[in-house]
Structure 1
Amino acid sequence: MTTTQARQDTLGEATLGELAEGLRGELIRPSDPSYDDARSIWNAAHDKSPALIVRCKGVADVIRAVEFARSEGLTLAVRGGGHSIPGFSTTDGGLVIDLSPMKAVRIDPDRHRIVAQGGCTWGDVDAEAQAFGLAVTGGLVSSTGVAGFTLGGGIGWLVRKAGLACDNLVGADVVTADGRYLHTSESENPELLWALRGGGGNFGVVTSFEFRAHEVGPTVFAGLVFYPGDRAADVLRGFGTAAAAAPDELSLAINLTTAPPLPFLPAEVHGKPIVAVLGMWSGQPEAGDTATRPFRELAPVVADLFGPMPYNAMQTLLDPLFPRGLRNYFRSAFFSDLDATTVDALVSAHSAVPNGLSELHVHHLGGAMGRVPSDATAFGTRDREYILNVVARSEDASGYGAAVEWARAAGSSLGPSAASYVNFTGETNEDIVRASYPPATYERLVAIKNAYDPTNLFHLNQNIRPASA
């Protein structure tokens, strides 16, 4: 008998029936026809079998599920968009709170506010907000969940203009470990709001997020330009020089990748190493060509696809490259500049890439993100100009181990002092979590964890362990 079956038998039909009757949403069990679909998540590296899945239709369902997990001693996983790289949005033998039915988005164009429920993806938010020419820093893939992305920080194409997603979080509704439903803002439970701005899912289930929105779109100047893979060092060095003078409206990244077999790329480069510079100018579209030009002349060009496009088109541009069902493992490291040692390390890692799905992303930061005081939010690292995100992927289990080992080596190649980004950390490790926050920030997070989750009910995350656990 499996652990899941044993745990469900222990709970008993009467207990489960009472839970189901108290929900507006749906209780899904292993015997239900929808179970296999309901238990699957975006990252196929994690194939787990929860005892129960509660698909919540509202706050009352979330409260009921939290209380049930606590009273029955069940491991609790919380699923927003389900993109969790370490697999935190599922669990073996426990209970999954699935927020995916909670997708309401409300826009206040006069106050420049966006309110999104915890099951929303960035595609949901952008579809509504762009009707009013508004946006907040969202995920680079539109199926990314608002919840996990924001709670861990949130780096996207508006990071230099508008800051991180968490920098724009002005309020939230939260169900805590003891079943309380709290609102948090600058004037109400402000310490909890501080912790939610970068401290991850440690403090409760966030059922609703309120963001400060920015005027963006509907047209932006964006896209990508491709360079030959053997010119990677030149592109990296030139990118660093151009980035030093970049205005806040320009957010760009370099991908050291493998050329996909797409019609806009010459057939002779398909399947070979290639470098892409991609990003977005969020100022006046007519100024975009001039603003991006220094990044589009870094080496001989294979293809230049920059131009005016709808903001939502840029927000979904990478979606086909990150489908559901691949095995994913990510690592990250913040660093200060593209000096010779760093460029050599990146080029070396690119040359050792284990397959055509794995790649290196170097995102330029700073701007509005860097001007937020270091103690204003729980987000850990603001004094570095760049972040390396190592994306290791495979189609099946046979190549996954090699991809993970490559990612670990690439992530470590920038040195032991490079802090990690919790949203791009593919495993749970207390040392990595501690190193992701300044010591004073970490201790403050522990104090807030002690106050709101002293028994560590919410431990499936990059965990801030309470003092009593």
Structure 2
Amino acid sequence: MTVRLSLLNGGRTELTNPQLDELRAMFHGPLVTREDPGYDESRAVQNGMFDRHPGLIVRCSGAADVIDAVRLARERDLLVAVRSGGHGIAGHSVSDDALMIDLSAMRGVWTNPAERTVRVQGGATLADVDRESQAFGLAVPGGVMSTTGVAGLTLGGGLGWLHRKYGLTCDNLIAAEVVTADGHLVRASGTENAELFWALRGGGGNFGVVTAFEFQAHPVGPTVMFGCAMYAAADANEILPAWRDWTAGLPDEVTSRVMLWSMPATPLLPREVHNRDVLIVAAVHAGSPDDGAPALRPVGRFGTPLADLSGPASFRDVQRSLDFMFPKGQLRSYWKSVTLNELGDDVLDVVLRRGLHRPHPRTLVHAPQLGGAVRRMGPADTAFGDRSAAYIVSIDGNWTDAAEDAATMHWVRDAFHEVQRVPSAAGTYLNFGGDRELDSATRQAAFGRNLDRLARIKRDFDPENRFRLNNNIQPR
């Protein structure tokens, strides 16, 4: 048996059985080929659109395996895909015939309650982090699904339920350990490799493989006040403006979002919303439940809800409350997003019209609120591009039939361009983006004035663009 692998230049090379045996003796974690048990599980990612077949998968057990995998890629000039949580909508972490460096077995999390810090291995998910940090009443800001990979979330920014109070996930990064393109492990922080540290906070996976993150954590939970009301979608024309006006005066402790969606008939939801098109108004208060109760009371009073699930809830339950809607590998997904300086009537008109006429029940139109601590950071404090926006509108195409790919992706792009044309449109959030390759306009919209600095750092740490399967920044 031989293993076929892609080269950076587009060519092909092969590894023979004796060569594979030598490599297996070198790595601590398993090497997985198409012929090995567990191959299909190892290559599976969240987005069911991507049925790709890596040439060789290195299931890394620790930083040493990552170092050797990067050195192998460098010695043989191999195309590299890096997988942590495998949750990215654009499917960058899996590619045909690539060498996949798979960190998904590296899921250790260690909490230091005295320092309020959390150390996280590169393959961990939010569920892993929440499990360990919530035992001490602490949380690292980021994400709204517990299955999200920490690495991709952090490197791309990191929106969630706590960002208005405590900032993006990348804002709470203290340090990172990174295997760079030359196969060396370095530490990046505010005082060590400071330029690399700056780039990691929002610049994506362009600069190396992060084997460990260290975060600042904050006192949250274990119980928080959760606001969640589901209204008939037909009433959204009245509720959306009321929600927008309410969010304009919210304290930073509250982060809110709205979603136009269709609810399945599942025991996890009240019968009143089964098979119904709904407008969901949701919010989390980052302080005590007693303080949060009056702050979130309006969530269920913008109209007459079909169901109001608001009340005190475990923060871990809030973090996984949307997981059931996104079963791994079962949905085909393509998303695009626009950041907005304000949510004017022109934007709400697009949100309403598109949200009421979605091509598939699992497709949603999603508008998270920004501002607060996100906006208080300077635009050049981290690599994350757009700090000024007040909201995001994300057009999240999700469907099940491959025959609908072209039509649904066209619908998403069309809706995205419609939002993009409103005067308050600002940039884009790449973690809510589904394009395999970025055009220059999207790259500029995402990184803004930080793009030139990112390109210089890319040149310093990855001049050959070895880490290119990502929201790629060309070295220069």
* TM-score normalized with structure 2 length: 0.94
Q: How does 1:22-421 map to 2 (within 5 A)?
A: 22-262=26-266, 264-267=269-272, 270-325=274-329, 326-416=331-421, 417-421=425-429
* CA deviation after TM superposition for structure 1 residue 164, in Å: 0.2
The one-letter amino acid paired with 1:315 is: Q
- Give the 3 Å change call, closer, same or farther, for CA 5–22 of structure 1 in structure 2: closer
Aligned with 2:447: secondary structure? coil
Contact 2:188 2:197 in 1 (8 A): yes
Q: Which of 445, 452, 464 is residue 435 of structure 1 equivalent to?
A: 445
Alpha-carbon deviation of 1:5? 7.6
Amino acid at match of 2:166: A
Matched, 1:446 2:455: yes
The structure 1 residue matched to 2:468, chosen from 455, 459, 464, is 459
Using the alignment, how far apart are the partners of 2:227 and 2:45 within structure 1? 29
In the alignment, the residues of structure 2 paired with residue 249 and residue 57 of structure 1 have an alpha-carbon distance, to the nearest angstrom, of 38
Give the letter for the 2:307 counterpart.
A
In structure 2, relative to structure 1, the CA distance for the partners of 1:349 and 1:2 (3 Å cut) is farther
Q: Distance in 2 between matches of 1:85 and 1:6?
A: 23
Is the 8 Å Cα contact of residues 2 and 15 (structure 2) preserved in structure 1?
Answer: no
Q: Which moved more, 1:416-425 or 1:105-114?
A: 416-425
Report the CA distance between 1:74 and its aligned residue: 1.4
Q: Which amino acid aligns with 2:443?
A: V
Contact 1:393 1:400 in 2 (8 A): no
In the TM superposition, what whole-angstrom CA distance separates every residue of 1:155-198 from its partner, at most 9, and x where no partner exists?
A: 00001111000000010000000001100111100110100000
Q: 1:292 to 1:223 in 2, by over 3 A?
A: closer
Assess if the C-alpha contact under 8 Å between 2:158 and 2:169 holds in 1.
yes
Instruction: Quote the sequence identity (%).
Output: 43
**How far apart in 2 are the matches of 1:409 and 1:4?**
39
Where 2:246 maps in the other structure, the secondary structure is helix
Which stretch has the larger CA shift, 423-432 or 197-206? 423-432
Is the CA contact 1:56–1:97 (under 8 Å) kept in the aligned structure 2? yes
* Distance in 1 (alpha carbons) for counterparts of 2:131 and 2:83: 21
Measured in 2, the distance between the counterparts of 1:383 and 1:295 equals 25
What CA distance in whole angstroms lies between the structure 1 residues aligned with 2:69 and 2:218? Answer: 35
Whole-Å separation in 2 of the counterparts to 1:24 and 1:400? 40
Gaps of 5+ in 2: none
Q: What number of residue pairs does the alignment pair up? A: 465
User: What is the DSSP-based 3-state SS (H/G/I as helix, E as strand, rest coil) of the residue aligned with 2:106?
Assistant: coil
Distance 2:91 2:3 in 1: 18
> 1:410 deviation in Å?
1.7
Q: Which moved more, 1:174-183 or 1:350-359?
A: 350-359
Q: Which amino acid aligns with 1:368?
A: A
CA contact (8 A) 1:358 1:403 kept: no
Q: Tell me how large the CA RMSD over aligned residues is.
A: 1.8
Q: Scaled by the length of structure 1, what TM-score is found?
A: 0.96
The whole-number CA distance in structure 2 between the counterparts of 1:297 and 1:337 is: 23
2:181 partner letter: A
The one-letter code sitting in structure 1 at the alignment partner of 2:419 is L
1:26 and 1:55 in contact (8 A); partners too: yes
**Is residue 222–residue 279 contact of structure 1 (8 Å, CA) maintained in 2?**
yes
Greater Cα offset, 127-136 or 274-283? 274-283
Post-superposition shift, 1:395?
1.6
Provide the C-alpha distance between the structure 2 equivalents of 1:71 and 1:118, rounded to a whole number of angstroms.
Answer: 24
Q: CA deviation at 1:110?
A: 0.8
Structure 2 counterpart of 1:217, one-letter code: G
Question: For the Cα contact (< 8 Å) 1:24–1:56, is it kept in 2?
Answer: yes
Q: Distance in 1 between matches of 2:383 and 2:13?
A: 41
